[in-house]
Chains A and B, each alone.
Chain A
Amino acid sequence: MSVVVVATSASEWTALRVVDSLALVATATDRFLECAPVMLRDAVTGLLPDPWRWIANGLFAIVAIFAVFGLLFAFLTLAERKILGRVQNRPGPNRAPTPTFPFAKFLGKIRTYGLAQPFADGVKALTKEDIVPDGADKVLHFLAPVALLAFATLTLVVIPFGRNLVALQLDAAVLYFFAAGAATELAVFMAGWASRNKYSLLAAMRALAQLISYELPLLLSWVPVVMIAGSLSTVAIVEAQAGWKFGFIPHWHVLTPWGFAGFVIFMVAALAESNRSPFDLPEAESELIAGHLTEYSGFKYAFFFMAEYFGMCALSGMAVTLFLGGWRAPLPFLEFIPSYAWFGAKLLALILGFMWIRATFPRLRIDQLTRFSWKFLVPLALINLGNTVVWALMSGGSPALALARWPVCAAIIVVPFVWLGRAQSASYAPRTYRYAA
């Protein structure tokens, strides 16, 4: 473990540091890269008098979150289009040039694999005409994308992005996250209803049905984590996953039977909650002509997409925090890489998984969708809850008991999974493909 903190800067920094429980708190023992964001913040806000500092610190966190996730959103749209293009055997956007400057005409237009595409999209969205239907509810039509983006952004606040990087430390952080996320369905409904378009209203009703159905497995799937970690605070949950067994197996929740089941249920429900394919029924382009987005254009439309990506980032970040060890490194000798880099890597891995799923799976029907949630995911999540209790009760005893809990808990969740799956697909299997070879 090499300590690279420059002595002078570190001592200056500790002198400036004000320990406030509600904001980023760092210890001076961290390595330089680890505490670089906090040092940067203190360099910016350190000059202010004490009463104003916490406001400045809060503003700094807000600006940082918007900057990082705004840019991430911009390039995730590009990545998504590129990946979808790759899967569908086409190049994807590759023609957006960087602007040409008069003094550097000799360079010509640099196309850089379409890397400038997000900015071209942004300019296009800003300059497009903002069309509001004649019969629309003007106020709600305007308010819906704003509310959606606001709630999606609120959820990002409690996620610990690194060792010292959490904008708001709350005792009930997980509850806060899902409370803020629960309001997004309201915004979707507002958008659908205010458009005065039957497809939009239909989509809004579908969205309500879908979001209510998947709220339940989503909420049930993280309860085991709270039970085991003994806290609703995201920081404490990451803390509970510290350390390695035998020096190389991390104590992540996903590496236990109940944690793995919870993680899978969480991710499936997260796909549905963030309206991602194969659960993108509220905006199904081929049947509802984009649903609640039909009557939106220009920057309001961009807001919806921004909110969708923010929501996807937030839910993936929560999955990382709850199940994948948060910002912790997978192996002890990899700890020299700063914690936020690990968090970012895990977050991007999950988001790329989302995109892969979107490229691969066909869309579900609405009845399949709700049946899948109520008859499959909810029972499994409830069984997993009981499974966690068994796991916790068996962990207190002898080593033999602690070893026996692995097959027992795995069986408790795998047997219902197979049985429920068989029972529900019985009327569909075996499949016959009449026209395919």
Chain B
Amino acid sequence: MILPLVIIALLTIAVAAIAMTLRNLIHSALLLIGSWAGIAAFYFWAGAEFAAFAQVLVYVGAVSMVVLFAVLLTRRSRADLEVAPDAIGRGLGAMLAGGAVLGVLFGAVFATRLDVAPTAAPTASVRAIGQQLMGAHAASLLVVGVILTVALLGAVVIASTDREGGKEDAR
């Protein structure tokens, strides 16, 4: 039972790692989508059908398009798609930020008491999930919706700036 989880986890992490190291941005984006699909597979393994399909629908279907659009619209030429390794300072900053997030996550995971005793897997139907979302967790659903709307508006604002000067493309 644990073997599929290991395979899924290794594949997801491997795909994400390759995505980071590749020079070609389109390849990276496609591999990133592959790792999202791996996360959906994990949800499916865990018996969370609804979350798995939602993950595929939202990430593999929609967010992937946004990523590809962003990559294609912000680059000027095809040669520009190959990113050169940047300054060491930026790399260090990225490592620090990533390490901090990793530390917080690991701290949270290890601080949580997990019931290791085998319990019956909860069988949540889509109907039950819907009633939970619309009843007990309606407020958080609304908050998430507002955050997403703000993010979308921000994206529109960023994308619609007049590019005549081409400040970010001048590099």
Give A contacts to B, CB under 8 Å.
Answer: 140, 170-172, 175-176, 178-180, 182-183, 185-186, 189-190, 193, 196, 201, 205, 208, 211-212, 215, 230-232
Contacts and interface: CB of A to CB of B under 8 A. Distances in A.
A231 B61 contact: no
B27 to A, nearest CB: 8
Given A171-B50, A179-B56, A183-B56, 12 more contacts: A140-B30, A171-B49, A171-B125, A175-B53, A175-B57, A183-B61, A189-B65, A189-B68, A193-B26, A205-B69, A208-B69, A212-B65
B65 A185 contact: yes
20 contacts: A171-B125, A172-B50, A172-B126, A175-B53, A175-B126, A179-B53, A179-B56, A182-B56, A182-B60, A182-B61, A186-B30, A186-B33, A186-B61, A186-B64, A201-B72, A211-B65, A215-B62, A230-B127, A231-B127, A232-B126
B148 to A, nearest CB: 14
B151 interface: no
Nearest to A201: B72
A1 B65 CA distance: 53
Given A208-B68, A208-B69, A232-B126, A186 B60 contact: yes
B72 to A, nearest CB: 7
Q: Please provide the 6 A-B residue pairs with the shortest distance between their CB atoms, ordered closest to farther.
A: A182-B61, A179-B56, A175-B53, A179-B57, A179-B53, A172-B126
Contacts of B68: 189, 208
B60 A172 contact: no
A328 to B, nearest CB: 23
* Size category of the binding interface on chain B: 20 to 34
B54 interface: yes
A41 to B, nearest CB: 25
A176 B61 CA distance: 12
Interface in B14-33: 26-27, 30, 33
Contacts of B64: 186
A212 B64 CA distance: 11
Given A189-B68, A232-B126, A175 B61 contact: no
Contacts of B72: 193, 201, 205
Contacts of B78: 196
Contacts of B49: 170-172, 176
A212 B50 CA distance: 22
Contacts, number: 63
Interface of B: 26-27, 30, 33, 49-50, 53-54, 56-57, 60-62, 64-65, 68-69, 72, 78, 125-127
Contact of B57 (A171, A182, A211): A182
A190 B30 CA distance: 9
Contacts of A182: 56-57, 60-62
Contacts of A183: 56, 60-61
Contacts of A212: 62, 65
A191 to B, nearest CB: 12
Nearest to B52: A179
Contacts of B57: 175, 178-179, 182
B130 to A, nearest CB: 9
B53 A208 contact: no
A208 B64 CA distance: 10
B78 to A, nearest CB: 8
A113 B56 CA distance: 45
Given A193-B26, A205-B72, A185 B61 contact: yes
Contact of B61 (A170, A171, A215): A215
B65 A175 contact: no
Which one of B57, B61, B64 has the greatest number of beta carbons of chain A within 10 Å? B61
Nearest to B60: A183
Nearest to A185: B65
A170 B64 CA distance: 25
Interface centre among B54, B57, B64 (most CB of A within 10 A): B57
Contacts of A232: 126
A302 to B, nearest CB: 24
A212 B68 CA distance: 12
